Amino acid sequence: MVKIDLKTGAFWALCGYAAVSAVSITMAEIFYILSLVLWIALIVKESDKTAFDISKYILIPFIVFIVIHFIAAVFGIDPLNSIKDFKKVYIMGAVFLAAYISRGSLNTEMLIRFFAAGAILVGGYAFSTGIYHRLILHEADFRAVSFSGNHMHAGGMLAMACVALAGFAVAELKSLSIKKLNVVLFSLGSVFAGLGLIFTFTRGSWFAALCGMAIVFFTAGKKYFVIFLVVMAAAGFALKDTAVGKRAMSSFNANKGTSNIERAYMWQSGIKMIKDKPWLGIGTANVGKIYPLYINPQAQEKQQGHLHNTAIQVAVIDGVLGLGALVWLFISLLVSQLRGALKAGGYDKHALIAFFAVTAVFIINGLFEYNLFSSQVALMFWFLTGISLKRRIKN
């Protein structure tokens, strides 16, 4: 009879998730759920009290937010619909799963290698399809996607992958024993993710990625940061008259009918919703039910299921109490990652900076898109965050 090693199974299932995290929503969820089930079976079997062993400064706001999210669902305008949608919180469980499975540097290294391989595949696919459709077929409206999802999802994932892998490459270069394979793999992953990101034409993801890269290279040292600035300046000059440059400049266009002004109208509607139900909101998955009652008369987009801004969306569905808990959680994450980086040295220092930068990317991208429970994007974020919160143990 073959004895099943639950820990090994959970680890390899999570490696499978890392490889397909940006490839396919279905494949990513299959591997994630498989790893999650094996992990739960493992901690039940072994009564492992360290399964949820992350800092209480993060665990407390994490639990508070989930509790408020549930209470808001129960007392929302459509409790049955909200409670059904509440199940999406399982995505956030990736924090605990990844923190547990990635204990030990070898486990972390393997997970990141698989993640880099997936980023090369997806970034290469998005870049090649972008070249084909934009430059060969002259499809002016084409926006690259992953193998599933839309261009907004692809933009959010590729922005995080680009920044994370650039940070891991820097961490390898700053370590005492440089592994050339990792430097090459992580660098290629970052470059391909960045090239793919360009062709998604998602400006919020572009901006978030640039901020994240600035954090990574500024903290890496003057030489790295100067090279980054020179490369960005050269790219900006080369692309200024292209579709990419025009798309970037359109960020400042507030004319009627543009996506910029439409989002401003959505945010105005969201603020009105918050004023009507300020404390616990309307419950998750209910924005579309009441949006027509709050729509700006000048808005051309008459139906919206979300408000293209994580803070406003959370305040609408969970009230200011839910938003407060979420802000508390993200501040705790940033402080924990930065404090860990300041205490560490070599590889660990710059790896934690990479995770700090990814958190910044997720927050900044959330200013233009509701990404907190966007399954594929959010799952990738909580997976990477979990690795940053792992307990450091020797292999």
Decide if pLDDT at 314 tops 90.
Answer: yes
* Domain spans of the chain, in order of start: 6-253+306-388
Q: What is the pLDDT of residues 152-197, one digit of tens each?
A: 999 999 999 999 999 999 999 999 788 999 999 999 999 999 999 9
pLDDT at 362 over 70: yes
Long-range contacts of 180-189 (CB under 8 A, 24+ apart): 182/109, 182/112, 182/113, 185/113, 185/116, 185/117, 185/120, 186/112, 186/116, 188/116, 188/120, 189/115, 189/116, 189/117, 189/119, 189/120, 189/123, 189/161, 189/165
CA angle 95, 380, 160 (to 5 degrees): 120
Spatial CA neighbour of 64 closest among 327, 337, 386: 327
Q: pLDDT class for 106, splitting at 50, 70, 90?
A: confident
Q: Which of 11-20, 31-40, 48-57, 382-391 has the lowest mean pLDDT?
A: 48-57
Alpha helices in the chain (DSSP H): 6-20, 25-46, 56-74, 79-86, 94-101, 105-130, 151-174, 180-198, 203-220, 222-239, 243-249, 259-276, 287-294, 310-343, 346-365, 375-388
Q: Write the pLDDT tens digit of every residue in 329-342.
A: 999 999 999 999 99
For residue 134, the Cα-to-chain-centroid distance in whole angstroms is: 27
In this prediction, residue 3 carries a pLDDT of 56
Q: Is the pLDDT reported for residue 317 higher than 50?
A: yes
The residues, ordered by sequence, that sit 6+ positions from 334 with a Cβ below 8 Å of its Cβ are 356, 359, 360
Can you tell me the distance from the alpha carbon of 240 to that of 161, in angstroms, rounded to the nearest whole number? Answer: 25
DSSP code of residue 363: H
Please give the pLDDT value at position 254. 84
Is the pLDDT confidence value at 18 over 80?
Answer: yes
CA distance readout (Å), 114 to 17, 33, 179, 196, 219: 9, 17, 16, 18, 25
Is residue 393 helix, strand or coil? coil
d(CA 108, CA 355): 13
For the segment 71-81, what is each residue's pLDDT rounded down to a tens digit?
A: 999 999 999 99
The answer to whether residue 394 scores a pLDDT higher than 50 is no
pLDDT at residue 360 is higher than 70: yes
Residue 96, SS3 per DSSP: helix
Q: Is the pLDDT score of 199 beyond 50?
A: yes
pLDDT in tens, 218-257: 999 999 999 999 999 999 999 999 999 999 999 998 888 7
- CA 384 to chain CA mean position, Å: 8
Q: How far is Cα 47 from Cα 118, in angstroms, rounded to an integer?
A: 34
Neighbours of 366 (CB within 10 A): 27
The interaxial angle of helices 105-130 and 6-20, nearest 10 deg, is 30
The whole-number pLDDT of residue 256 equals 82
Neighbours of 355 (CB within 10 A): 26
- Within a 10 A sphere around the Cβ of 187, how many other Cβ atoms? 18
What percent of the chain has pLDDT above 90?
85
- pLDDT of 395 reads 34
pLDDT at 132 over 90: yes
Q: Which of 257, 259, 279 is nearest to 267 (CA)?
A: 259
How much is the average pLDDT of 302-325?
95
Task: Using pLDDT thresholds of 50, 70 and 90, give the confidence band for residue 393.
Answer: very low
Cα–Cα separations (whole angstroms), residue 203 to 152, 231, 360: 10, 19, 16
Q: Cα(23)–Cα(242) distance, rounded to whole angstroms?
A: 28
Judged against a pLDDT cut of 70, whether residue 1 lies above it is answered with no
Closest CA to 383 of 137, 67, 22: 22
Whether the per-residue pLDDT at 372 is higher than 70: the answer is yes
Q: Taking the model in full, what pTM does it have?
A: 0.96
What DSSP string runs through 144-213?
---SSS-HHHHHHHHHHHHHHHHHHHHHHHHSSS--HHHHHHHHHHHHHHHHHHHTTT-HHHHHHHHHHH
pLDDT of residue 119: 98
User: What is the residue-averaged pLDDT of the chain?
Assistant: 94
- For residue 58, give the amino acid letter: I
Residue 175 · residue 313 · CB < 8 Å: no
pLDDT tens digit string along 258-298?
Answer: 889 999 999 999 999 999 999 999 999 999 999 999 999 99
